Chain A
Amino acid sequence: MNELNWIIAFSVVGLTPMAWLLPGRWQLPTVSVLTAGFMLVASPLSALSLLLTASLSYGLFRLKSLTPAWRVVLSISQSVLVWIIFKSEWPMHQGWQTTVGVPLGLSYYTFRQIHYAIERYKQTLPVHDFADYLTYLFFLPTLLIGPINRFPDFYRDSRRRRWDAVLFSTGLERILYGYAKIVLIGNMLLTNKLAHIIYTLQPNHPSLASYLSLIRFATNAYIQFAGFSDVAIGLSLLIGIRVPENFESPFLASNLNEFWKRYHISLSSWCRDYVFTPLLSLTRQPVLATLGAMLVLGLWHEWSSQYLVWGALQGLGVLIWHRFKRPSGEAKTAQPAWHSNVMHGLGVLITFHYFCLTCLVIQKNNWQAVGQTLTQLFAR
C-alpha cells in the first residue's frame, strides 16, 4: 500500500469514528493529534517540518517587538524558505530528496500558511487560538493532495459541524467515485489501454503516437488529480468539514482564462488573490500581474526551469486570449446561434490542445526530448 492508501484507510477507520464518538470539544483536536501521530510514524521529517513552520507562522505574529509588516514578511519567508529547500531542482540533482525525502503535502501547507499570514496581516481572520490554527493545518484528509482550503472557511465549518447522515453518505460516495476515476479511467483506460495503443502505433505512425501520448499525459494528470481531490473532499465530509471543489470540468472551458477558473481551482484562486490582485493594484499592469500569477502557479509544482516555462506558457495563453477576445460591450446577438456554438466548440478544442501542448514541457525530462517530440508532431 502506498502512503495515499494508508491515509485513506487511517482516515476512515481511525479519524472518522473519533470525530463523532468523542465528546464534542475533543473531536477535532483528536483528529489533529492522530494526524500528527500518523505523520510521525509515516515520515517524522514531515511532522517536524509542519510543526516548525506552523509554529513560526503563528508565533511571529505574537512578537510585540516587530511591526506588522515585518511579521508578515518573516512569516511568509520562513514558509517559502523551507519549501524552496525541498522543492528546488538543486537538491533533486544532488539526490538529496531520495535520502532525506520531501515532507508530505509541503506545497499545500506552504501556500496555506502564506494565505494565513496575509489574511492575518489584513486582520480579516476570525478570533482564534493556536490550537485552531494547528487543527486547520494538521488535517489528514487534505494534507497530502489538497485542496488548498482557506482558514476562515475551515474555522467556520469546524464550529458549525453537526452529525448529518446525508453529508456522511455523500462523503462515502465521493471517495468511491474518486477512486473509480483514478483506477478505472486513469489507470485502466488512460494508462493501460491507451498506452498499449500508443505503443503499437509508435513504429508506423510516430506523429499520431506522439500526439496521443501528449493527450494521454494531460488527461491522465487531470483525471488522477481530480480523483484524488474527490477522495480528499469525501474524507473531509466524513469528518463533517466541507472543503472547496478543486475542478469543474476544465476541459470544457472555451478559453484559457476560464480553464484556469475550473482547473485546480484552489491553487488558481490562491494565485489570483495573493499574486494577481496585489500585483495589479501595485503596478496597474494587467500583463505583469497575469504573468506573475501564472509563474507562481507553475513554480508551486516544483521550483524548476521546466515549471517556470510551463507557468509562463499558461500566462502567455491567457494574455493572447485577452488580446483577441471580443470586447465585452459588443452585442452578441449580431451572430446567428450556430455561429456562436461553432466558435465555442472551436474555443474548447483550441484551449484543450494548447494546455496539452504546454504540458509537454513537464512531461519530458529534458529540453532535448521536448524538441524531439515537437519535431515529431509538426515536422511531417
Chain B
Amino acid sequence: MYQFLQKYVGSKTAGILTAFWYLLLLFLIFYYYFLPSGQFRYADW
C-alpha cells in the first residue's frame, strides 16, 4: 500500500494514508472478530 501510494504522493502523505488504511483494517477486524467464527482446527495440529 505504502509503495503504491508513494508513486502518487510524497512519502509523508503516503505514510499518513497508509496509517489510515491500517486503521480501517484494524477497525473491520475488531468489528467482525466476535462473529461466530468458523475457525479451522489448525491450532490442533
* Interfacial residues, chain A to chain B (CB-CB below 8 A): 2-4, 102, 104-108, 144-146, 176-177, 179-180, 182-184, 186-188, 190-192, 195, 220-221, 224-225, 228, 301
A195 touching B38 by the CB < 8 A rule?
yes
Instruction: Tell me the interface secondary structure of chain A in the complex.
Output: helix
Contact A301 B45 (CB under 8 A): yes
User: Is A187's CB under 8 angstroms from B39's CB?
Assistant: yes
B45 engages A184 (CB within 8 Å): no
CA A224 – CA B41 in complex, angstroms? 10
Other than the given A107-B45, A224-B39, A225-B40, 5 more pairs (CB < 8 A) read A108-B45, A183-B28, A183-B29, A221-B40, A301-B45
Contact B33 A191 (CB under 8 A): no
Given known pairs A192-B35, A301-B45, the reply for A180 and B40 (CB within 8 Å) is: no
The answer to the question of B8 belonging to the interface, with a C-beta cut-off of 8 Å to chain A, is no
Kindly list chain A residues whose C-beta atoms are within 8 Å of the C-beta of B43.
2-4, 104, 144-145
Q: Which of A179, A183, A187, A225 contacts B42 (CB 8 A)?
A: A225
- How far apart are the CA atoms of A170 and B40 in the complex, in Å? 26
CA distance A179 to B45 in the complex (A): 19
A179 CA to B27 CA, complexed, in Å: 12
Q: If the complex has contacts A184-B32, A191-B38, are A176 and B45 also in contact, measured as CB distance less than 8 A?
A: no
Contact A192 B36, beta carbon cutoff 8 Å: yes
Q: How far, in Å, is A306 (CB) from chain B's closest CB?
A: 13
Interface string of B8-45 (1 = CB under 8 A from A): 00000000000000100110110011011111101111
Given contacts A106-B45, A144-B43, contact A180 B38 (CB under 8 A): no
Bound form: Cα–Cα A271–B20 in Å = 43
Q: A184 and B28 in contact (CB under 8 A), knowing A3-B43, A145-B45, A176-B22?
A: yes
| Interface pairs (26), CB distance under 8 Å | A2-B39, A2-B43, A102-B44, A105-B45, A145-B42, A146-B45, A176-B22, A177-B25, A180-B25, A180-B29, A184-B25, A184-B32, A186-B37, A186-B38, A187-B35, A187-B38, A187-B39, A188-B32, A191-B35, A191-B38, A220-B38, A221-B40, A224-B40, A225-B42, A228-B42, A301-B45
Q: Give B37's nearest chain A residue, CB to CB.
A: A187
Report B-chain residues with C-beta under 8 Å of the C-beta of A220: 38, 40
CB distance from B23 to the nearest CB of A (A): 10
B30 to chain A, nearest CB (A): 9
| A residues in contact with B42, CB < 8 Å | 144-145, 224-225, 228
Q: What B residues does A195 contact at CB under 8 A?
A: 38
Interface centre among A186, A187, A225 (most CB of B within 10 A): A187
- Contact between B32 and A183, CB atoms less than 8 A apart: yes
Given contacts A2-B43, A3-B43, A224-B42, contact A191 B37 (CB under 8 A): yes
Chain A residues with CB under 8 A of B33: 183, 187
State the Cβ distance, B31 to closest chain A Cβ, in Å: 9
Q: Say whether, besides A106-B45, A221-B40, A225-B40, A176 and B26 are in contact (CB < 8 Å).
A: yes
Residues of chain A with a CB closer than 8 A to B25's CB: 176-177, 180, 184
Please determine whether A188 and B45 come into contact, CB atoms closer than 8 angstroms. Answer: no
**Contact residues in A for B28 (Cβ distance below 8 Å):** 180, 183-184
Question: How many angstroms from the CA of A102 to the CA of B45 in the assembled complex?
Answer: 8
Taken together as a complex, chains A and B put the C-alpha atoms of A183 and B39 apart, in Å, by: 9
Query: A145-B43, A183-B29 are contacts. A190–B35 as well, Cβ < 8 Å?
Result: no
Tell which of A104, A184, A225 touches B29, judged by Cβ atoms closer than 8 Å: A184
Q: How far is the CB of B11 from chain A (nearest CB, A)?
A: 14
